[in-house]
Each structure stands twice: as C-alpha cells, then as structure tokens.
Chains A and B, each alone.
Chain A
Amino acid sequence: MRMRHLLTLFLLPGLLTAALANPYETTLKNGLRIIVKEDRRAPTVAQMVWYRIGSMDEVDGASGVAHVLEHMMFKGTPSVGPGEFNKLVAAAGGRDNAFTSRDYTAYFQQVPKEKLAEMMRLEADRMRHLNVDPKEFAQEIKVVMEERRMRTDDNPQSRLFEQMNAVAFQAHPYRRPIIGWMNDLETMTAADAKSWYDTWYVPNNAYVVIVGDVDHREVFALAEKYYGVLESRALPVRKPQVEPAQEGTRRVNVKAPAELPVLIMGYKAPVLRDVEKDSDPYALTMLAAVLDGHDAARLTRKLVREDKVALSVGIDYDSTARGPGMIYLHGSPSAGRTVADLETALRAEITRIQKDGISEQELKRARAQLVAAQIYKLDSMFGQAMEIGQTESAGIPYQKIDRMLEKLQQVTAAEVQAVAKKYFSDDTLTIGVLDPQPLDSKARRAAVAARH
C-alpha cells in the first residue's frame, strides 16, 4: 500500500495518524457546514458552495427559476457591483462558474491558494446580500433564453431527453427541465428570482467544500470570519411529491431536423438512500459497468462491433440523487437498420443477463477499473470537491464515499443478475424515439451567398 503511505506523508508530514481525519469538517452556528480536504500537491485550491436547492424545488409556472437565479448571483450586492464578482476572481488569477441541477445549485472558484480568503469573502457576501435588479434581470433572462435555444431547442437529443422525462415522471418535479420551459422563462420576473433567493439562499441550506493546499484550521477560522456572521432562517417544508408506480410502457416521439434516429429506453430504478442497508443501487452500478464500462464491454461489443445494428450504444445510471432514479439504455441504429431493430437488440442483451447472468471475469474487470479510478480521481482537486459535493447533495455523508466503494467491490454476479430481472420491466419502461426530419421540408438547396 505504497499509495496510502505516500498520501499520508504528503498530507500531514509528521502526523501520520491524523491524516485519517482528512477531509475535515466543522459546522458554524448558523448551520453552514464547512468540509475541507487538504491536498498539498500544487499551490492551488478549489472552493465550492453548494445550495440544497435545484429545479426539483420549483413549482409549475416558474420552471427554470433555480437556474436563472444562478445567473443573477453574478449581478451584484451592495458592496460588489454587477459583474464585479467575475472581475475580482479574474484579478485573483482565478476561474469561476456555477451550475444548476435538479437537486442542487453550486458555485465554484479555482484560485492560487493565497486568494482563498478573498473568495470566501465574496461567496459569503452573495449568500445573503444579493441585489436582484430588474434591469439586470431583463438582460439576463434573454441570455438564459439563448442558452435554452443553444442547449435544448436546437439540439435534437436534448429535446428528446426533455420529452422523455416529461413523460416518465408525472407527479415528481423531475418531469420539468432544469433550464425551464420557454414560456416560463418569457413570463418570469425579477420578483420571482428575488423570492427564490430570499427563501432558499441561507447558510443552513448550504455547505462549502474546499479542496487544496490549505490548512483546515486556517480555513475554519476564515469560514467563521466570513460566513459565521450570516444569519440562518427556517426553511419551508418540502413536500415529497412521490412519483406513483408506473404501470405500463410509455412511448414518446420527437421530430427534429437530424440525420440519425435515437432510441432511449428508460427504466425506473432505485437510488441509494441507506449506504449500509441498500444493495440494489450498487448492483445496478456494476451492471452498468459490465454493459458499458469499456470499449469492448457487452453493449458495444455485441451491438456495434459484432452485429453492427448500432452506430453507438450506451447506458446511464446514477446511483445517487434526491429524487427517483432511472437507468437509461440509449443508441442510434446503423444505416439500413431501424429503431425497432435496435430496441430488439437491446432487449436481447437484457434478456441474456436476466437468463444467464454475467461472468466472474466481467465483474473482476469492472472492479479493477473501479480501484484504478479511485487513484486517478486524486489527479484533480476539482474532481474531488465535486465528488464530496454531489454525494452530500443526495443526502449521503461524504464520510461514506469509501464505504460505498467497498460495497461496490462486494457486489456478486448473482446480485447483478437479480437487479436485471427486477428492474428491466416493461411496466416501468419509457421509450423515447428521435424521428429525424429533413433540414428543409421543401428540400430547397441551401442558399450560399458570397460577398467580397
């Protein structure tokens, strides 16, 4: 275990046992948690502020407000003018951005380590003191509509995925797109964004993750200084909005200008709620690795390489989330083959696992990749901060990350076969198909004008 010794030495020279405590955590009186992972490999640091608020907390008619507010967070406070936040980060030699998911909204800066204190000051300032200026809002909402056009409206695969979720979920807010429906964006006001901010942006609804060349005690002191003065406030009750059981296959077709058809088969699947007691999410993760974990894993090997029924094929499953889970199979049929051919082939692969299971060799290979990935992940401070933040966002303590990896290692071939039988059921299946349309229905030649 050279790796462990090296890291131990590296993180806390002279204090071999203390390194086991890394990452370190403290909770301020206002409820804000500060998680610090010391990583001394380079003189940089990543700060991420995670708010437990995402598009799933929105209501009908206001879809997209979580993401719009994320944009507005760069538009100033009484002490930092509009656009100044980015300017100050840039002046510090930093990079910054933010992202909104169904489950959370997160903000980050990567900076030389000397600049961490200033980044903490800036994030603390906008945690409770944001201006939501109607003029700034009027410009920024246009930017968000352009973002929607770019990411979704002009992207056939994204449109298909948006429609899939709108059909797969009916009661649960995962049915709404993160970016929001266009009409909701068109009618959103600065007051909507302000109300969102006032309700949810409080220290007791957030946690800070810091990974880098820092001493956790100094970071805790800085956190007390900058974040400690912010007041907490009680949060509204969040209703569970449990999705009723699906009882029959649902289908959705999307027509869009494209060349290749796309098929997505999404099955309802569990996510991890209890790290110790749950077992199916681990088995589903290993199932996904066996089906699609490398270039010659089952799906690509059989459907793309051997049978040539697909141009590409894959599987997506995320074992952690605040809301309900899905496991998606997706692909595009080869020229001369149809979506129906691809669906048949994917179903045959599912049946094969249900009937014959997987081999020890396949499982061993997936485990080897998992072990290596845990070492490779240490090559990125930002990646480590993301892992801690995302795990926490799903309600799982970051201290359980290693335990989750152990549990993954313990998954047996029989368990993988069992989850394939249990969850690949037509009753909980939603099928989405992209039906490609010619670019110009009148088939007129694209005009080319050249002007010198």
Chain B
Amino acid sequence: MTMKRLLTAAIALLAAQAALAGVRIEHWVAPGGARVYFVESRVLPILDVQVDFAAGSMFDPPGKSGTASLTRSALSLGAGKLDETAIAEQMADIGASLGGSADNDRASISVRTLAAPEKRNAALDVLRTVLHAPRFEAAIFEREKARTISALKEALTRPDSIASKAFWGAMYPDHPYGRQASPESVASLTRDDLAAFHARYYTAANASITLVGDISRSEAERIAEAIAAGLPKGSAAILPAAPQPTAGKTVKLEHPASQAHIHIGLPAIERGNPDFFPLVVGNYTLGGGGFVSRLMKEVRDKRGYAYSVSSYFNPLRQPGPFQISLQTKRSQAGEAIKVTRDVLDGFLQQGPSEEELAAAKANLTGSFPLRLDSNRKILDNVAVIGFYGLPLDYLDHYQEKVRAVTVDDIKRAFSRYVRPADLITVTVAAD
C-alpha cells in the first residue's frame, strides 16, 4: 500500500465515523422514477443493496391471497439464463447472498456482497437478472405452491399462528390487511398470476433502492441506474381505502395447547403519523420497554403469569395495529387478561408518571446509537425511511422528538388511537 492510498483510507475512515454519528443519507431519483437512498460507509469492505417495491400482501388480488409472497420467493428460482441452481451457486461462489421477503406492504430483495468490484459486480448481475427477468417456470411454481400449502396447513395447527391469523382477520374485516393466504387461496393460483403481479408491481415507479457500504456516490449512481433501467417504468401502486374502525369484540378459539395465546388490540396508526412519537414514548412505559414496562411488572414479575408480555405499535402504509400479546397457562387466561386490561385501562386514564416518562426518554434517546451501529441496522432504517417516504432527516431529529413528548401528548394520542370499546381480543386455547 502506497502512502497516498494509506492517507485516502485514513480520510475515508474519518468520514465514515462522522457519518455514523448521524447517518448521512444521499437521495436522488433514478431514471424511470425509482427513488434511491445511499449511505456511504467505508469501515468494512461490504456492500448491501436492497430494492423495495410496494408489492406486499395488501396488493394480493381478491381471492388470490398468497400472490405477493409467492411472487417474491419465485424471483430467485430461475431468471434470464440462470436456473435456480445457477443463481444459488453463483452467489455462493463469491460469498454473497440474496435476502428479503414480502410482508403486508413491501416486497424486498436484498444482496449482501463483498465490495471488491469483481465480487460486487457478479452479485449485482444476479440481482438485476432476478429482478428484471424472473421465469416463473410452471414446474417450479407447482412445487413451491405445494410446499406453501403444506406450510400453511402446518401453521393452522399452531396456536400462535391461529391466534395471529384470527387477530388480523378480526381487526381488518374489510381491508386487505385482514386477508391472509390459506391452503385454498394458494391452490387457486397459477404461474400467470405471479407473472402478472410482477409486471404490475415490480416497476421503477413503484421501487425504492437503498445502498449502504463501501462504494462512492458515483458508483452508487451507476448501480442504482442499472437496477432501475431494467424495470418497466410502470406506475405507483394504488392503495385501497383505509381500514375503517370496527367495534370491539372477543374471539375465542379452542386448541389443545397447554398455554393460551392472547392478543388484544386494534388498527391504530400509519407510517409518518404525527402522533408516532407520543405513542412510542408512551408505549415504552406500558409494554414496549421490555423488562421495565408496566405489563411486564404486573403480569410477569408480580404474578408469574407469562414468560413474555408486550405491547407495540406496528405502523404500516395504512393504519397498522396497536397490539398487546402474551401467553399463559390456559387455566389462568381469564385472570391474565383481566390484569392486562387493568394495566391498559390505568395507563389510558393516567398516562405515565413524570418519572416513567423521564425513564422512557432516557432509554429511547440513550439507546439511539445502538440502532445504527452496523451496516445491517443502517440499511434496515434507511430502507424504511425510503420506502415509506419519511423525512431524510428523520434519524437526525429522532432524539429531540422523543424529548419533546409530554404526559399530556401521550394521554391525548392514546385516547385517540387506543379506544377500549374498539379493542379486539383473540384467545386460542384459553379455558
């Protein structure tokens, strides 16, 4: 290594350290309309690239639940000139890997590779091929369909899966978030359904591309452009009507398990909602703060009712759930629900104490560096910012927004979004 290169490395290093103090996100729009988000990080010779499409299960055509998920998983099972074996072997040969899956909102595909040009170019070649030219071969599709149906049948025997499915179904009776893949819906799918879904949603206008790692801005521009250029321009996904509030109810399902699985909640907030900070800060005290939350103290520490009990907000493109979850010995499910509801009701009336609020703020601001201390975590955060269109300075202002929250803000926000009369309670295997 020459002296000049040593110096370059040292300077790059300092830049990277500075960037980590507050992640510097560079943003531009690639030809075709794909939005690009880039964080240069020279600390390790690694490159992560993630491409997100508004192509999650909320866009499953009616009656065809499972389309989004199967489409995403089929991408790497044959594309262009590469069959499924060649795709896996080419990535393994250079120590790279493909990742990602489809959730309610997003279909993601990501690649992690060594940043050296010969490695990353080979990995990105595969990424572009699977994005641009998936084959959706009929024989492979039938095989994956059969595997998916078996896995869904297995899930229908598990108390946790049954509870989750019933909970989402009850919260979203008339919205796609409540519709989930079933053995029957998947059995009705054809490979043409997947190809049509891909053609509609895997487009430049519907994509955000996130790059984190050991490349320059100009290299990032070239990589993003090549990814976007091979996608049809298309148009952004059209959202369904927002979910409507539904009246609270209780759903009780039988199961032979030794523990009851319990969910309590309702649709609450979407990504970017201005009440996000009061709700998250408040929820820390209620059930988000791990071992120090009120739910943990009352349900687990004082009574030994559960190993895990928590509450959280899951903001999605459209209002996602507020949810309390626990598992307890089936004979004491009624008691555990009563204690949980008492904790929730007390919190809704009083909010956190000033002392609890200070503790919540101390943890949420103090732990901020832990959210960003690896490329992987930076990628996850920046991809969410990009996909949901959050402000680019979201991370820069995170701590001050936490600090600004008051007890009154929390009470007002909770009373708006967590309405006791609208709570859905689902139990599986409760006596």
- A residues adjacent to B (C-beta < 8 A): 2-3, 5-6, 9-10, 13, 40-44, 74, 82-83, 86-87, 90-96, 110-112, 115, 138-147, 149-150, 153-154, 257-260, 293-297, 301, 304-305, 308, 311-312, 332, 334-335, 364-365, 368-373, 375-376, 378-381, 436, 439-440, 446-452
Contact = CB atoms under 8 A, between A and B. Distances in A.
B236 interface: no
A139 B302 CA distance: 7
A112 B20 CA distance: 13
Contact of B304 (A90, A142, A297, A447): A142
Interface of B: 1, 6, 9-10, 13, 16-17, 20-21, 42-46, 76, 84-85, 87-89, 91-97, 112, 114, 143, 146-147, 149-151, 153-154, 156-157, 159, 247-259, 289-292, 297, 300-308, 327-329, 359, 362-363, 365-370, 372-376
A379 B376 contact: yes
Contacts of B259: 146, 149-150, 153-154
Given A258-B154, A365-B89, A95 B13 contact: no
A94 B253 contact: no
A379 B150 CA distance: 36
B366 A380 contact: no
Contacts of A3: 44-45
B258 A154 contact: yes
Given A294-B92, A308-B143, A86 B292 contact: yes
A66 B44 CA distance: 38
Contacts, number: 235
A379 to B, nearest CB: 5
Contact of B250 (A112, A368, A449): A449
B304 A259 contact: no
A386 to B, nearest CB: 14
24 contacts: A13-B10, A41-B17, A41-B373, A42-B372, A91-B362, A91-B366, A93-B365, A95-B370, A112-B369, A138-B304, A139-B302, A259-B150, A259-B153, A260-B150, A294-B88, A305-B143, A365-B92, A372-B94, A373-B95, A379-B46, A446-B253, A449-B252, A452-B247, A452-B249
A296 B291 contact: no
B45 A44 contact: no
A172 to B, nearest CB: 28
A90 B376 CA distance: 23
Contacts of B366: 91-94, 112, 115
Given A146-B327, A311-B150, A381 B373 contact: yes
A5 B359 CA distance: 42
Contacts of A297: 88, 92
A138 B248 CA distance: 36
B291 to A, nearest CB: 4
A144 B157 CA distance: 24
Given A90-B290, A450-B251, A259 B143 contact: no
Given A146-B259, A146-B329, A294 B363 contact: no
Contacts of B150: 259-260, 311, 332, 334-335
Nearest to B116: A2
Contact of A448 (B85, B252, B304, B365): B252
A259 B252 contact: no
B156 A259 contact: yes
A91 B247 CA distance: 38
Contact of B363 (A9, A91, A440, A448): A91
Contacts of B13: 6, 9-10
B410 to A, nearest CB: 18
A112 B372 CA distance: 11
Nearest to B159: A154
Contacts of A368: 92-95
The 5 closest A-B pairs by CB, nearest first: A93-B366, A372-B95, A142-B304, A296-B88, A42-B373
B9 A44 contact: no
Given A92-B366, A448-B253, A449-B251, A146 B114 contact: no
Nearest to A40: B17
Contact of A93 (B85, B251, B290, B370): B370
A93 B249 contact: no
Contacts of B290: 86, 90, 95
A260 B154 contact: yes
B307 A91 contact: no
Contacts of A138: 304
A91 B44 CA distance: 31
Contacts of B258: 149, 153-154
A6 B303 CA distance: 53
Given A44-B370, A142-B304, A5 B6 contact: yes
A322 B382 CA distance: 42
A30 to B, nearest CB: 29
A448 B393 CA distance: 48
A375 B112 CA distance: 11
Contact of B44 (A147, A293, A378): A378
Contacts of B252: 447-449
